[in-house]
Chains A and B, each alone.
Chain A
């Protein structure tokens, strides 16, 4: 039977999914022609060289059917073989036995379909000189190995160890026994079969099915079950390979492997002391079982040699044959790797380093190395939204504390935290004594929030500070904003994180009036234009005006009229007279007889009366980075901020804009507590990996690659002008984002109510007018409609509005 037909059959049997190796009859014919030609040329050459068809076809495949190159290659190879191993017995029938065990026949890709033959095709033990197999024959008698039959899955792993143990024995045995010439005729098998067994990666079952057919040669190696049946016990095993000179690299790699496995091997040996007791098999036995019983050669790689033997042992000895029902874990990985690479030669990454592919793999391994260590974070694949709905959390709210500079915002909040025991007394005492030393005793409470050294030295809040406290029903996060005019950008960042606002007003004579012209007004307008609807007005420092009811009413009247014009609804405005420094009406009702006129809520009660807000948890992820910092040694890169929309969980990959870089969330904290997920509205700290800190700046936006936010250099927006607007330079604020830009065009002024265009292309837009304008920026910035933006120029807020 022509080996070719067998091959064709095998093609039909296997489910190939690779296009390039389809058994096109024309190609086959061409291949045949080429093979014949190469063989003739080899024989004709000087010195005449012989090679199997297999080899030739292998070579041809590698050289894309280039006859000349193939001839050269084969000749060179043979020459080397002859030179290296003068003692090697020449193949008795050169064309009958594959001289060089080509690891792969060209059209046999790794198949998803498991087959034992395929499975071990390139394994080194198949390339082992037959004589190696002899001594191992006795080993199946060990009960230990027999156990393996019951657990096919673990077979792969244990076999490795056992193989190594056996390898040791073998080595000893090799030393003892002198190399004997091969005693078994290699010609027992028909030529076709030997080629066949290698070139046809039939599945095990198919093999078994066909094992009864006379025309199919039985391969004890690859069909252990057939061996067990005894169907071919009498027939000696075909020597798959004559002694084969290894490439130089092979022993090296082997040694390496050996070193790595030294320890398990040693222990294995101790477990099996009886091995050496066994006598070598008799001549009869070897005749029965096969030529492999006799060592032909001393030289070879014992390590791999014995691995093969073990496999054979399983096959021959197991009462219940090991049918390799499933691939070993190693091979699952390897198959996946090789199929991913789409190139079967990569399969050789397996422990079999004995063939020539090893070198190539080392090289490719080097290529795959990268200096940067990628950290893999496993995602728990939680359904965050359902987790969120399941979770029994207290309602959580953020509020911004706003107001004119020196209105007592930080002190009031410090008082709130101190009275609610969110700050312990010891810390407070420490601040008191430190403040006393600096001669700023009245600032002690503010130091709870003003942590910066400069803030304390100057007695001014510079940047926003967040702090958390709990009441019976709610978890509140304070966002304490600076009141100073220069730090309005920071206040904008704070207000953008808030659900509602506490406007602190200094009731002191003259201070209230100056505040109303200054940041009291600006902050309130900003808060409103950033979407804050509820505002609690804390009329602070009432103790300094002796809790004068008239003063309170005057302030209440002025402020509420202003807030109503700013767009707050009257029902969303609340007034509380209080004193931050003394603590009256903050958490406790004032005991001062002068305050008896006030029977309303205290500040905390007023805070608790606020309805919680819903957040867009099911929208695409958006989060503006508030801060980039080094969290700790474990988390060298952390970002914090509030989730504007969407949800995320540990292990998620996120995209930062405008840099467009990806990062992975290693862990995250919600309100300072580690958690697996977070949803919109929560204040989170994300610990990131796989990104360079240079790509992260505060003001950048975090999103998902599936729904990225666009970077824009120009946008149209509808704004309410606070000042005269004309084409000019402005600062654009959106939360922490602060970029320079310019108003390039005034499109139209609009009617406040209907939004209809009143005047197109106005020369100038007056204060209090709604207008549509075009803003351009030099750098691309992540912005998308409908975002609320604030435009400032020269230290003043000139407009605020909505992106269109």
Chain B
């Protein structure tokens, strides 16, 4: 995402003009835009005019509309963001107060304004929003790393794209493969059919040009991770090689990017294990994803080893912060960005203030995990927030509270 104009005031209100450049930027926009913000973007609106005679005519007109956001609808599969709200600027074709749904488009600027309000009813550009904006704009410029993962087991394959901030399950292949039986070759047949379907699906998702003469050597080479328990992934790689050498020579271009790794099962939650494997770490070490996964693993490890030096759950973490356990010297607050996406302003304020407190007052570390990654999903399972503590705390009093 390109930052076109930045006019954030000291008090947190202000506007930012952004230009989304790639599909993942829509995800950032989805995290940045909150209900009650003002969003200004170009729009196409169907305008119906009624003549005096009663006949109507409708036309589609290009407008620049400013809406007060009511709802966001994000489709991660196609990376589309629809923002609905009421129009606040008067144009020749619309009136103030009419509803409109803006579809944000790639390479078209939009302007986002957040207001604090005279008595602070809005949240404005709080610290989290500013951080997200920084993430979105990517000042470092090193987030090209992407990977495709095929997590599979017999008769089941998940094809997903791992981005910097998102893991998108593109397609699931599910087939019934006959088991091995006495004197039956059904199993081998079933497996090669399964491999074939999976390969076809994978190439379609990669938008891979299968013609041998294509000159698209410039296409970005992304690592394709084939992960499975047992020998399924290896078998799949073998199958791809045989296809490349026989019927589809163009596939040879892709062969070097295949990496076979181990996973415990063919389900999506084994992806964390995939990212842990040495083969992947080499290629994806510095990505946010890998860092997040490692953080989650560290947390779980800590929880196992020293149960009282780690905690999870909203109330438990807040209580730990109150006791000063998430501070300097190893205290880490791990929080899912799902919490900041809450529709409820008070809820968001609660978490932003917690983050600010840990970072600015306590001196602890704060990591915001993307809820669209496997690690974020694991965190969501724990209530969306967890903390590594500097000293052990016994949480018996919390239990007592719960019992009441």
Query: Could you mark each residue 109-153 of chain A with 1 if its beta carbon is under 8 Å from any beta carbon of chain B, else 0?
Result: 000000000000000000000000000000000000000000000
Contact of B307 among A484, A627, A763 (CB under 8 A): A763
A698 close to B382 (CB less than 8 A): no
Nearest CB to that of A696 among chain B residues?
A: B176
A729 close to B269 (CB less than 8 A): yes
**A696–B399 Cα gap in the complex (Å)?**
46
The answer, yes or no, to whether B128 is at the interface (CB within 8 Å) is no
B303 close to A764 (CB less than 8 A): yes
The answer, yes or no, to whether B235 is at the interface (CB within 8 Å) is yes
Pairs A–B under 8 Å by Cβ, sample size 8: A464-B179, A626-B179, A628-B176, A630-B186, A697-B176, A727-B312, A740-B268, A743-B381
**A452–B230 Cα gap in the complex (Å)?**
14
**A463–B303 Cα gap in the complex (Å)?**
36
By CB atoms of chain A within 10 A, which of B180, B231, B303, B399 has the most?
Answer: B180
The answer, yes or no, to whether A761 is at the interface (CB within 8 Å) is yes
The answer, yes or no, to whether A455 is at the interface (CB within 8 Å) is yes
B265: which A residues are within 8 A, CB to CB? 489, 731, 738, 740, 792, 795
Q: Give me the interface of A with B, judged by CB distance under 8 Å.
A: 451-455, 458, 462-465, 467, 484, 486-487, 489, 626-630, 693-694, 696-698, 724, 726-729, 731, 738, 740, 742-744, 759-761, 763-764, 766, 792-796
Given contacts A729-B381, A760-B399, is CB(A795)–CB(B264) below 8 Å?
yes
A462: which B residues are within 8 A, CB to CB? 180, 230-231
A629 close to B180 (CB less than 8 A): no
Distance from B276 Cβ to chain A, minimum over Cβ atoms (Å)? 9
Distance from B149 Cβ to chain A, minimum over Cβ atoms (Å)? 16
Query: Could you mark each residue 310-321 of chain B with 1 if its beta carbon is under 8 Å from any beta carbon of chain A, else 0?
Result: 011000100000
B249: which A residues are within 8 A, CB to CB? none
**A630–B178 Cα gap in the complex (Å)?**
8
Q: Top 3 nearest A-B pairs by Cβ distance?
A: A795-B264, A729-B269, A486-B229
Q: Give me the interface of B with A, judged by CB distance under 8 Å.
A: 176, 178-184, 186-188, 229-231, 235, 262, 264-265, 267-270, 273, 300, 303-304, 307, 311-312, 316, 377-378, 381-383, 395, 399, 402-403
B188: which A residues are within 8 A, CB to CB? 452-454
**A462–B270 Cα gap in the complex (Å)?**
20
Contact of A451 among B180, B229, B267, B300 (CB under 8 A): B180
B231: which A residues are within 8 A, CB to CB? 454, 458, 462
A763 close to B229 (CB less than 8 A): no
A487 close to B303 (CB less than 8 A): no
Given contacts A454-B235, A724-B304, A728-B378, is CB(A795)–CB(B229) below 8 Å?
yes
A744 close to B179 (CB less than 8 A): no
A724: which B residues are within 8 A, CB to CB? 303-304
Distance from B297 Cβ to chain A, minimum over Cβ atoms (Å)? 10
A744 close to B180 (CB less than 8 A): no
A744: which B residues are within 8 A, CB to CB? 381
A484: which B residues are within 8 A, CB to CB? 230
B382 close to A726 (CB less than 8 A): yes
B403 close to A629 (CB less than 8 A): no
A455 close to B180 (CB less than 8 A): yes
A763 close to B264 (CB less than 8 A): no
B262: which A residues are within 8 A, CB to CB? 486
A486 close to B179 (CB less than 8 A): no
Nearest CB to that of B381 among chain A residues?
A: A727
A726 close to B303 (CB less than 8 A): yes
B377: which A residues are within 8 A, CB to CB? 729
**A738–B265 Cα gap in the complex (Å)?**
10
B316 close to A726 (CB less than 8 A): no
A463 close to B307 (CB less than 8 A): no
Distance from B14 Cβ to chain A, minimum over Cβ atoms (Å)? 39
B399 close to A761 (CB less than 8 A): yes
Contact of A759 among B184, B311, B316, B399 (CB under 8 A): B399
A629 close to B179 (CB less than 8 A): yes
12 new A-B contacts at CB < 8 Å, known A462-B231, A696-B176: A454-B231, A455-B180, A463-B179, A629-B179, A629-B181, A694-B176, A698-B176, A728-B300, A729-B377, A760-B403, A764-B307, A792-B265
Distance from A494 Cβ to chain B, minimum over Cβ atoms (Å)? 11
Nearest CB to that of A795 among chain B residues?
A: B264
B316 close to A763 (CB less than 8 A): yes
**A766–B304 Cα gap in the complex (Å)?**
8
Given contacts A626-B179, A792-B264, A793-B264, is CB(A486)–CB(B230) below 8 Å?
yes
B307: which A residues are within 8 A, CB to CB? 763-764, 766
**A629–B180 Cα gap in the complex (Å)?**
10
**A626–B179 Cα gap in the complex (Å)?**
8
**A634–B307 Cα gap in the complex (Å)?**
61
Distance from B326 Cβ to chain A, minimum over Cβ atoms (Å)? 16
B378: which A residues are within 8 A, CB to CB? 728-729
Distance from A481 Cβ to chain B, minimum over Cβ atoms (Å)? 13
By CB atoms of chain B within 10 A, which of A455, A462, A484, A486 has the most?
Answer: A486
Contact of B178 among A627, A793, A794 (CB under 8 A): A627
Given contacts A484-B230, A742-B381, is CB(A764)–CB(B176) below 8 Å?
no
A738: which B residues are within 8 A, CB to CB? 265
Given contacts A726-B382, A795-B229, is CB(A763)–CB(B402) below 8 Å?
no
Distance from A774 Cβ to chain B, minimum over Cβ atoms (Å)? 12
Distance from A645 Cβ to chain B, minimum over Cβ atoms (Å)? 23
Distance from B44 Cβ to chain A, minimum over Cβ atoms (Å)? 37
B264: which A residues are within 8 A, CB to CB? 486, 731, 792-796
B184 close to A629 (CB less than 8 A): yes
**A487–B180 Cα gap in the complex (Å)?**
14
**A759–B403 Cα gap in the complex (Å)?**
10
Nearest CB to that of B189 among chain A residues?
A: A630
